[in-house]
A and B are shown apart, each in its own frame.
Chain A
Amino acid sequence: MSDEANHDKELRRFVTSSASEEVASRVRRDVTEYSEVMRSLEKSQSPLSAFCVKPSNLYFATQDSSEKVLLLLRKHPVTQLPWVLLAAIGLIIPLFWDLGSFLGFLPAEHQAAAVVAWYVALIVFVFEQFLSWYYNVNIITDERVIDIDFHSLIYRNISSTKLAKIEDVTATTHGVLGTIINYGTVTVQTAGEKREFEFENVPAPNTIVQLLNELLQEEELEQLEGRVA
């Protein structure tokens, strides 16, 4: 009798676990099953890319365990050219100080100190600008859209909205450079507390809009079929 009871118990456990696995697999499909965009894009390898597809070893503060990062977006590198050029000019400026005897009133060691100060200031400028570019990201997951902003290294703003709350997605490409190199701004209008998300100067804005539309359709389908987790 006890053997029979154990057998029943084991069987029930097996059925229950199989059922829960089946339910779990039905809750959320893999993005490649329904997204043409994600099927066509290759997984990014470079951590410095402005358009990272399914980035590996990337996590964000409020990420759920089941949440998968699909896209990580930064501003297009072309938009960073102004400060790069400024830094390049800054690099050669001390070479002209001797020509114009700009620091002629200072002793030799003070002139050297001035050059060191200049290059340290330049390093600070470049480091700050680079960090600002690297960490100001927009993330698209299979559940949410997240906008992470850092301003001047001391101000942080993280906003996110669930895909179900997105009402409208628009891509705007402006300027000759934007049209040629294919970058622009994606605006996401939501029904949430933050009404509007802007992904400024991101690469391939039309692809992003297409992906978001596919995610929205899947979200609606999930709700219709009762697959919402």
Chain B
Amino acid sequence: MSLLTPMLQLSFSTFTTGPVSSELPVDSLLVWAFRITFILLSLMLVIFSFVVIRQIKVMNETVTTVLGPIFRIISIAFFCVSILIALAAVTSL
């Protein structure tokens, strides 16, 4: 265990941008798990928001209402925001 800890710290320090911290490797693992999860979720969000755009189109074709165009605009805005989040997640985290 005493040998493993510095090795883990060394391996994680290659991925982190800041100086090697004194935090436990378990914390670093959690941070990396968080990063990967966040990036995956943001990519899933992009797919989901695209599905929402398609689905609102189908819904509007099925039942045409006054609010249909507003929902369409919201869904497109949501898609744009999801792309921004995904880009931010990939580049910043």
Chain A: residues with CB nearer than 8 A to chain B?
Answer: 47-48, 55-61, 105-107, 109-110, 113-114, 116-117, 120, 123-124, 127-128, 131, 134-135, 137, 139, 148, 150, 153-154, 156, 158
Distance (whole angstroms) from the CB of B26 to the closest CB of chain A: 8
Q: Inter-chain contact count A-B, CB under 8 Å? A: 79
> Please, could you name 28 A-B residue pairs with CB atoms under 8 Å apart, sorted by A?
A57-B65, A58-B65, A59-B63, A59-B64, A106-B30, A106-B31, A110-B31, A110-B34, A110-B93, A113-B93, A114-B38, A120-B81, A120-B82, A120-B85, A123-B78, A127-B78, A131-B56, A131-B71, A134-B65, A134-B71, A135-B59, A135-B62, A139-B63, A153-B51, A153-B52, A154-B51, A156-B62, A158-B62
Q: Measured between C-beta atoms, what is the minimum distance from A80 to chain B in Å?
A: 16
Task: Judge whether A134 and B67 touch: CB under 8 Å.
Answer: yes
- Tell me, in angstroms, the Cα distance from A90 to B74 when the chains sit together: 21
Give me the interface of B with A, judged by CB distance under 8 Å. 27, 30-31, 34-35, 38, 41-42, 45, 48, 51-52, 55-56, 58-59, 61-67, 71, 74, 78, 81-82, 85, 89, 92-93
Q: How far is the CA of A128 from the CA of B65 in the complex (A)?
A: 17
